A and B are shown apart, each in its own frame.
Chain A
């Protein structure tokens, strides 16, 4: 809370400019840099180039276009829409798209560059080693750049409301001047499928490592496992500052200020229909979901047609307290 207050007191961030810089200008610069480097490297590359690697080494060769064309097509289909989206997106999706744009482009530009770089000064295409690092490192870099870009994109601009909480919304009787806090851990997500996925990635990394002597492919498994750990033990807290949802180590952290709450309600969540699955999810129309199961949850309507949904037990008390504390941020009614 204190960090947000000090951030709000400091010079206001220009979200539009950051979106253009992080979501479009940075990716464009990365692509430009990759193209320039590859062009400069052409004299040092073998002809033909290694295009594809199997377990026993290079198994397909071809010209530079054979390596670049598929990358450019996939990149254009994926990165260009994200760059445009970064500039156009408002509110709910803005940070996510900017992060995705910066991260995806970093990964794609890095992989293309890496696959060319491993062939520099090679005698011929078949003598080129496994491009493990050229694949794993750009993946890591993409994650890091994406996360930093999303963070730098900044939270939504404050949008407080003075509209009264609807009379029919649930309330919790609190003594005048009394204070209350409600805290609950989100239900545990079914972890079988992600655990199997991590085990599969680990096995793949180990098999590839033994077969090729290149252990770089263990990196994606480790990263996915770390991300999985970040999804455990989330909790929701309702207090005078509003609704806060955070991970086991206090990060990532999401905060909905009390003065931006329009109304809180108990809801029944259908993860697949409303959010397309479990996890931290974007739902229909600027809805942010912290979804760990099917069933009971809270739906908090926020200003600017945004909403937040959290699956949680004891939703009735959470909702009543949210409405009551949000009401305290509103000016006293005229009558």
Chain B
């Protein structure tokens, strides 16, 4: 799991942390049931306020991706992280097909983010 923080990007810091954890879970870098670093530890590593990390963790808990236990830190929810394997395979297939057709990743991203007509 890689969490990168850019204070200048304008994106809220808690959102940057939450996005990184989401990506790590979907990619399978953190297994269901695995412990997340304690908020204090993570805040220390990233030179952030511990409340910023807790904000991110609460956000992920509300999404059902993380279970929070008082005093014991967070865990990746065993319920939430079930069928990402297939999604990963499909993303891989998508990338392969795009690169075969010479469609750049920018175009591919636009295809995914823009509404279908």
CB-defined contacts of A184 to chain B, threshold 8 Å:
1, 29
Let me know if A296 is at the binding interface, CB within 8 A: no
Q: How many residues of B contact A (CB 8 A)?
A: 19
CB-based contact B47/A240 at 8 Å = yes
Task: Name B's interface SS.
Answer: mixed
Given A174-B4, A237-B37, A317-B2, A179 and B29 touching (CB < 8 A)? no
Interface bracket on A: 20 to 34
In the assembly, what is the distance between CA of A180 and CA of B2, in Å? Answer: 7
CB-defined contacts of A179 to chain B, threshold 8 Å:
4-5, 45-48
Let me know if B114 is at the binding interface, CB within 8 A: no
14 A-B residue pairs with Cβ-Cβ distance under 8 Å, sorted by A, are A174-B4, A176-B8, A177-B8, A178-B7, A179-B5, A179-B48, A180-B5, A181-B37, A181-B45, A183-B37, A184-B1, A185-B34, A240-B47, A317-B2
In the assembly, what is the distance between CA of A183 and CA of B41, in Å? Answer: 11
CB-defined contacts of A178 to chain B, threshold 8 Å:
4-8
CB-based contact B29/A314 at 8 Å = yes
Provide the B1-44 mask, 1 if CB < 8 A to any CB of A, else 0. Answer: 11111111100000000000000000001010010010000101
Let me know if A332 is at the binding interface, CB within 8 A: no
Residue of A whose beta carbon sits closest to that of B27: A314
Residue of B whose beta carbon sits closest to that of A233: B35
Contact of B45 among A185, A237, A314, A317 (CB under 8 A): A237
Further 9 A-B residue pairs, CB within 8 A, beyond A179-B46, A184-B29, A185-B31? A174-B4, A175-B8, A175-B9, A178-B7, A179-B5, A181-B2, A183-B3, A237-B45, A240-B45
CB-based contact A181/B29 at 8 Å = no
Q: Which of A175, A179, A181, A241 has the most CB of B within 10 A?
A: A181
